[in-house]
Structure 1
Amino acid sequence: MADAYIGPETRSRARKRILAEHFLKVYGKDLKDFDKEGEEQLRKVEESQKWTPYTLSNAMWMVASIAVFYYTDFAIAVRVDPRINRLWFNVGVVLVAVNIAIGFYFVVICSWIRKIHTDDWEKHMPAAIPIATVAFIGGAVCLNVGLWPVWSILTPFILFTLFMGVVVLISLLPNF
């Protein structure tokens, strides 16, 4: 029975062979330079579509974030509004700060200073990414609960818009 087992590699090769045979039946066997032409076209498409952070969607997130920050008086409300549940808010701020500290460690110290590739981050410090994920989710929940008395149902939308503005702002930083 053990000899009858077909591993995933064998199945994958068989699928590729069947697809290739079907392709040759449909398009014929006179495709000597097909791969070279396809590679050239793919390279041209990839060169024309270089990634840039300066897009319309990023600009819209920045504008929306600035508008939300300004029109909700976010900075003033966070500092002095008595309706804020300070316990939940402060716990949320600490959890988000933990998340930011882990991100700073990976991006600035590991990537820029120590030149550790992003694929090796998890090998370098395996517990950091799960901790950052839990801290972010917990921080988001705590901030929503803490700020709910001020903006009620709009609180998640306000926080998400501000979060996206910060993410876009970070994406605009130079890549060293």
Structure 2
Amino acid sequence: MPAKAQRYGKLAQDETKAGLRARKTRPDSDSETEDESKLSEREIAKKKWVRRLRWAWRKLTAAFWVSLACFTIYYTNFFRVMWESPLVNRTYFYLAFACLAFNMSMLGYLALWCTVVLKIEEPWETKHPKAIPVMAIVGFSTVWLFFFALWPVWGLLTLVIQLIFFLGFVSAGQFLPSGTPGAVLMFVIFFGAFFTSELIPHEGLAHYTPGPSSSR
């Protein structure tokens, strides 16, 4: 009897934990509806306006960073200078580009191949839980390798340019559709930026020009 009671108690405990997990994952829209039912019409209208203002603020902020990133690319002709300037430290540059290629390959594998082709739900957490910390370390290394590579060209301005590009790239997601089309468009934007140098009519308006000894 004690053994049966122990097994019964353990089973009941497991069911309780499962119920708690299900309750945590259940959407709380019912509670929001109940809360709004207790509010006056003025308070409900106020909450709606707050949500609309937050949505508008997110869009305006995203538009600002995207516009600033586009202006920075045009003003500096970043990618043409990056490829052609003799001041770029090519050792750091190639190492940074290898790290960037690794992270973009991982993003494509997890966001497109695993999710779309293999139909794996949440591959970041289930199939490859170590992917995020590894990509974070590689991404941190990429930032500093690009900084050392481009320091002779832009100096401290390199960090500002990197920050603007990062925020502009992330903010672009605010204007893209959700799901697979949005993920594909993010890759199109990323790789399409490399070809902007063909469309910009100047060599870059914000970088150090090499001296006579560097140009030889």
Q: Please give the range of the TM-score, normalised by the shorter of the 2 chains.
A: 0.5 to 0.7
- Does the CA-based 8 Å contact 2:114-2:120 persist in structure 1? yes
Q: Does 1:112 align with 2:109?
A: no
**Aligned match of 1:144 in 143, 147, 171?**
147
Letter of the 2:35 partner, please give it.
G
Measured in 2, the distance between the counterparts of 1:154 and 1:122 equals 37
- Counterpart of 1:168 in structure 2 is 171
Q: Secondary structure at the match of 1:65?
A: helix
- Number of matched residues? 140
- Counterpart of 1:85 in structure 2 is 89
Q: Does 1:56 align with 2:60?
A: yes
With over 3 angstroms needed to count, the CA separation of the structure-2 counterparts of 1:116 and 1:76, relative to structure 1, is same
With over 3 angstroms needed to count, the CA separation of the structure-2 counterparts of 1:49 and 1:107, relative to structure 1, is farther
Please report how far the alpha carbon of residue 37 of structure 1 lies from its aligned counterpart in structure 2 after TM superposition: 3.7
With over 3 angstroms needed to count, the CA separation of the structure-2 counterparts of 1:52 and 1:91, relative to structure 1, is farther
Please report how far the alpha carbon of residue 61 of structure 1 lies from its aligned counterpart in structure 2 after TM superposition: 0.6
- Counterpart of 2:125 in structure 1 is 122
- Out of 123-132 and 49-58, give the one that drifted further: 49-58
Q: Secondary structure at the match of 2:155?
A: helix
Measured in 1, the distance between the counterparts of 2:33 and 2:173 equals 39
Measured in 2, the distance between the counterparts of 1:121 and 1:84 equals 35
Measured in 1, the distance between the counterparts of 2:32 and 2:79 equals 58
Sequence identity (%) = 28
Query: Given the two structures, how large is their TM-score scaled by the length of structure 1?
Result: 0.67
Give ranges in structure 2 of 5+ residues lacking alignment: 1-30, 180-216
Measured in 1, the distance between the counterparts of 2:59 and 2:137 equals 30
With over 3 angstroms needed to count, the CA separation of the structure-2 counterparts of 1:80 and 1:110, relative to structure 1, is same
Measured in 2, the distance between the counterparts of 1:58 and 1:109 equals 28
- Counterpart of 1:157 in structure 2 is 160
Measured in 2, the distance between the counterparts of 1:172 and 1:146 equals 32
Q: Does 1:131 align with 2:134?
A: yes
Q: Does 1:68 align with 2:72?
A: yes
With over 3 angstroms needed to count, the CA separation of the structure-2 counterparts of 1:41 and 1:73, relative to structure 1, is farther
Q: Note the 1:2-21 alignment, pairs <5 A.
A: none
Give ranges in structure 1 of 5+ residues lacking alignment: 1-33
